[in-house]
Amino acid sequence: MNWKRKRMIGVLHLSPLPGAPRFAGSMDAVCEAAVADARAYRQGGADALMIENFGDLPFTRERVAAETVAGMAVVACAIKEAGVELPVGFNVLRNDVSSGLGLAATCGGEFVRVNVHTGAVEADQGIIQGEAFSTLRQRKNLCPQVEIWADVLVKHAVPIGDLGIEEAARDAFHRGLADALIVSGVATGEATDLEDLRRVKQACPDAPLLVGSGAKVESAEQLLEFADGLIVASALKVDGMLDNPVDVERVSALRNVMG
């Protein structure tokens, strides 16, 4: 992605997909909601979309099921068929970057988000370990043009060991060969700490840096002092509520603040 201007990446929080405990029984309904959100992001001025199986609680630390990958592919195709011409990326929760790369290769994706690329964390799924070795080799063989966006000390988890945020960032960027870094708050929708952003940018000045949670109109200017882009969802929903559809006016307001 071109980082010459500050980028807004709108997250498509998909409704539960087939196989998930809360799947409502209709892929058509899942696609309709995703397409409506994608159109709102595009109309409001977002630069890219990130497709995420957000509704598939509880998540696995292993590979997701085949039906999950198939469902995400169907959504990606529906967005393209609807004429929403924005770059698309994938985040297969909790940490299935292999499936993410497969989706990107087959659906024309431009990036994947990796929650744990290097190191290890303890999360509600148990111990999750980074697989940078296999990820980079799979990317090289399958879709070398797809970018890897790696979280640094990812949300909803605690790192194993006493590795500081600067060291974690350097490991992900210099040793894990990530193409961009993501810094988030402690949970979905929670504010990203400005000092954490500053420390990561200072540690890896050449790495594109994205805010992974909690960005709002009120905080965007401060965050973008260090960050090159914002990954946003919660603040851009109707009334700022996570479960609501995307509000095009909120997207436009954030885009205006970003410039």
* CATH at 55: 3.20.20.390
Range of the domain at 83: 7-258
What is the spatial distance between Cα 50 and Cα 38, in angstroms, rounded to a whole number? 10
pLDDT of residue 190: 85
How far apart, in whole angstroms, are the C-alpha atoms of residue 114 and residue 101? 10
pLDDT at 189: 75
Q: Tell me, yes or no, whether 76 lies in a domain.
A: yes
Question: What is the 3-class SS of the chain, one letter each residue?
Answer: CCCCCCEEEEEEECCCCCCCCCCCCCHHHHHHHHHHHHHHHHHHCCCEEEEECCCCCCCCCCCCCHHHHHHHHHHHHHHHHCCCCCCEEEECCCCCHHHHHHHHHHHCCCEEEECCCCCEEEECCEEEECCHHHHHHHHHHHCCCCEEEEECCCCCEEECCCCCHHHHHHHHHHHCCCCEEEECCCCCCCCCCHHHHHHHHHHCCCCCEEECCCCCHHHHHHHCCCCCEEEECHHHEHHHCCCCCECHHHHHHHHHHHC
Task: Quote the percentage of the chain above a pLDDT of 70.
Answer: 100
For residue 194, give Cα distances in angstroms to 13, 120, 203, 211, 247. Answer: 25, 24, 14, 10, 26
Kindly report the pTM of this predicted structure: 0.95
Residue 246 belongs to some domain of the structure: yes
Q: Assess if residue 143 is contained within a domain.
A: yes
What pLDDT is recorded for position 174?
A: 98
Give the separation between CA 89 and CA 104, rounded to whole angstroms: 7
The answer to whether residue 1 sits within a structural domain is: no
Number of domains in the chain: 1
Q: Over its length of 259 residues, how does the chain's per-residue pLDDT go in tens digits?
A: 899 999 999 999 999 999 999 999 999 999 999 999 999 999 999 999 999 999 999 999 999 999 999 999 999 999 999 999 999 999 999 999 999 999 999 999 999 999 999 999 999 999 999 999 999 999 999 999 999 999 999 888 888 988 899 999 999 999 999 999 999 988 777 889 999 999 999 999 999 999 999 999 999 999 999 999 999 999 999 999 999 999 999 999 999 999 8
Residue 2: inside a domain: no
